[in-house]
Amino acid sequence: MRICVVKATGKIIEMQSDATAGTLIGNAVSAGYFLADIEEQEVTPAAYAAMVAAQPKSANEIVDALIGAVDAFMDGKAQGMGFKDRHSFALRAGIPGSSWHSKALVFGAWMDGINDYCWQAKLDVQAGHRTIPAPEQLISELAPYPL
C-alpha cells in the first residue's frame, strides 16, 4: 500500500493499494502539488489507518462535531423530561394550554442562551481570542440546566 503525503503537515493526498513507486507522486504533481512539498511512502494497512485517524480535521468537521455534541446535550436534557428531543420539548412553549407550557418556556430560554453562547464562542475562535474547544470543554462551559 502506498500513500502520498504533504511533508509539512502529513496530510494524506492519495492512497493506492497496488501502486508502483512514483505513481502517487506523479498524480499529486499533476493535481498541482510541488514535488518538493510531497513524498510517497509505503505503509501497512495498520499504519495507514493510524495516519487517517490522525489527519487534521477540516473547519467544517470541527464545527459539525461541536454542534452535534451540543445538540446531543440539549436532546438528553429534553429526553430526561420525557420528550423525544429538544425540539419536541421547546415546541410546547407555543401551546399556552399545554401542561408543559411554563417548563417549555424555561427550557426554550435555556436552549436559546446556549445557542447564543456557542455563537459567541465561534466568533471568539475566529477572532483568535480563544482556541477551538473540545466538545466536552464547550459543554462544561454551558449554563446549568434549570429544570
Is there a domain that residue 146 lies in? Answer: no
If one counts the domains in the chain, the total is 2
Range of the domain at 106: 59-141
Q: State whether 40 and 63 are in the same domain.
A: no
Q: State whether 70 and 47 are in the same domain.
A: no
Q: State whether 136 and 86 are in the same domain.
A: yes
Question: Which amino acid is located at 63 in the chain?
Answer: V
Q: State whether 34 and 85 are in the same domain.
A: no
In the chain, helix, strand, coil percent, each to 5?
A: 55, 10, 35
What residue ranges in 8-118 does DSSP mark as E strands? 12-16, 38-42
The 10s digit of each residue's pLDDT in 2-24 is 999 999 888 899 999 999 999 99
The pTM of the whole model exceeds 0.85: no
Please check whether residue 8 is in contact with residue 37, taking contact to mean a CB–CB distance below 8 angstroms.
Answer: yes
The 10s digit of each residue's pLDDT in 39-91 is 999 999 999 999 998 887 777 888 888 999 999 999 999 999 999 999 999 99
Is there a domain that residue 28 lies in? Answer: yes
